[in-house]
Structure 1
Amino acid sequence: MSSIPQNKNELIQAISVSYEKLTLDYERVPNALTRSLGVEGNVKGTIISVCDTLAYLIGWGKLVLKWYDFSVKGKDIDFPETGYQWNQLGALAQAFQLEYKDWTFEKLKKEYQRVIQDILTLLHKLDEHILYGEAWYKQWTLGRMIQFNTSSPMKNVRTKIRRFINNNTNK
C-alpha cells in the first residue's frame, strides 16, 4: 500500500490503522495530563493539550461528514467551513478546541470513536467510482478529501502525542 490511499479499501485501512494506533497512544496519556499544555499546536508557536488534539480530529471528521451530507442533499458546501478560508485553518483548529474545551478526555475519546465509525460506515456504503472515479472538490476526489482530513491529520497528531508522552511520562 502506498502512503496515500488509492482506492476505497486502502482508505478504509489507512483510517482504521491510524485510528487504532492513535487510540493506543491516547490510552497511554495519564488522565491528569490530558488538559496540560504541551502538544505542538496547529497555529505556529502555540501549545495545546491532548484533549485539544481530539477536538481537532473530531472537528475535521464532522466536517467531512457534513460535506458529504450537503453534497448528497445538493446544498452548497462552504469549504472548509462557513466563516473560514483554506488559509485560515489554524483559526478553524482553534474554533474546534474552543467548541470542546469543557469536554472530558473520556467524552472526547468516545465522540472521536463515534465520528470515525460514522466515516467508516459511510465509506463502506460508497462505491469506488464515487470515492476515486472523479473530481469531487476542485481536482481532488472525495476519497482524497476524506484522507486529507482523517488519516493524514491522525498521523500528524500521533507524532505529537507520542512526543508529549515521551516528554511527560516515564513510559
Structure 2
Amino acid sequence: MNVPQTKSELLLAIDKNFNKLISYLNVIPPELTSDNSMDGHSKGTEMSIHDLVSYLIGWNTLVVKWITYDEKGLPVDFPETGFKWNELGLLAQKFYSDYRELNYRALMTELESVKDHIVKLIDERTDDDLYGKPWYTKWTMGRMISFNTSSPYANANANGRLRKWAKNNNISLK
C-alpha cells in the first residue's frame, strides 16, 4: 500500500494493516507470547510477542499524547519526554516495561483500544489538519500518525518479525 496522502487513505491503511496484524496475533498460542525468541528492536537483542505488542501500544499511545498536547496548545516532546530520536531502543525497553504486567488478552484489548482512540482523533480532523502543513519538522500530522500506526503494523516492525517468528516456531499465521 502506498503512503497515505489523505484522511480516507490513512484510515484505510490503519484498518487494513491493523486487521492483518491482529489476525496474526490472534493465532499465536498465549503460552508462547512471553518467550524471548524474536528479533528485538535493538540490534543483538531478543524480545517476546508480548514485548512487540507493548511496543505497538507504546507508539500508539505516544501518537494520542502528541495530538492531545498539540490540541491543548501544549509543547510536544518528540518522540517522548526524556528520549531523543537516537534513543529509540531505550524507548522500546520502556514500552516493554510499561505493559509487562498485562496478560496477553488484556494487552490485545489495550492495543485495539488505543488504535480506536487514534481513529477517533483522525475522524475529528480534516484533510487539511492532517496533510495541509508541516506538523513536526517537515512531516505532516497525517504522516507522523502513519509512521507510528499503519506503517509499523504492516512492515518489518510487526508483520515481518511475526512471520519469521512463526516460521521458526512452526506456527501458521493464516
TM-score over 0.5 for the alignment? yes
Report deviation, 1:125.
Answer: 1.2
Mapped partners of 1:75, 1:137: distance in 2: 14
What per-residue deviation string (whole Å, max 9, x for no partner) do you get for residues 55-92 of structure 1?
A: 00000001000001100111111110011001101110
**In the alignment, what sits opposite 1:36?**
35
Q: Residues 28 and 165 of structure 1 are in contact (CA less than 8 Å); yes or no, is this contact kept in structure 2?
A: no
Root-mean-square deviation (Å): 0.9
Q: Does 1:158 align with 2:159?
A: yes
Report deviation, 1:169.
Answer: 2.9
**In the alignment, what sits opposite 1:18?**
17
The letter for the 1-side match of 2:170 is T
Q: Does 1:62 align with 2:66?
A: no
The letter for the 1-side match of 2:126 is D
CA gap of 1:169–1:77, structure 2 versus 1, over 3 A, is same
Report deviation, 1:163.
Answer: 1.3
Mapped partners of 2:171, 2:88: distance in 1: 34
Mapped partners of 1:89, 1:75: distance in 2: 23
Mapped partners of 1:101, 1:170: distance in 2: 24
Report deviation, 1:170.
Answer: 4.3
Q: Does 1:118 align with 2:111?
A: no
Runs (5+) with no aligned partner, structure 1: none
Mapped partners of 1:158, 1:108: distance in 2: 17
Mapped partners of 2:118, 2:136: distance in 1: 18
What per-residue deviation string (whole Å, max 9, x for no partner) do you get for residues 120-158 of structure 1?
A: 111111100000000011100000000011111112311
The letter for the 1-side match of 2:48 is S
**In the alignment, what sits opposite 1:75?**
74
Q: Does 1:96 align with 2:101?
A: no
The normalised TM-score by structure 1 is: 0.96
Q: Residues 28 and 171 of structure 2 are in contact (CA less than 8 Å); yes or no, is this contact kept in structure 1?
A: no
Mapped partners of 2:99, 2:39: distance in 1: 18
Residue 4 of structure 2 aligns to a residue whose secondary structure is: coil
Show structure 1 runs of 4+ deviating over 2 A. Answer: none
Q: Using the aligned pairs only, state the percent identity.
A: 41
Mapped partners of 2:42, 2:151: distance in 1: 17
Mapped partners of 1:99, 1:37: distance in 2: 17
What per-residue deviation string (whole Å, max 9, x for no partner) do you get for residues 28-59 of structure 1?
A: 11111000111111101111000101100000
The letter for the 1-side match of 2:66 is W
The normalised TM-score by structure 2 is: 0.95
Mapped partners of 1:124, 1:72: distance in 2: 14
Mapped partners of 2:152, 2:41: distance in 1: 10
Residue-pair matches, total: 170
Q: Residues 135 and 141 of structure 1 are in contact (CA less than 8 Å); yes or no, is this contact kept in structure 2?
A: yes
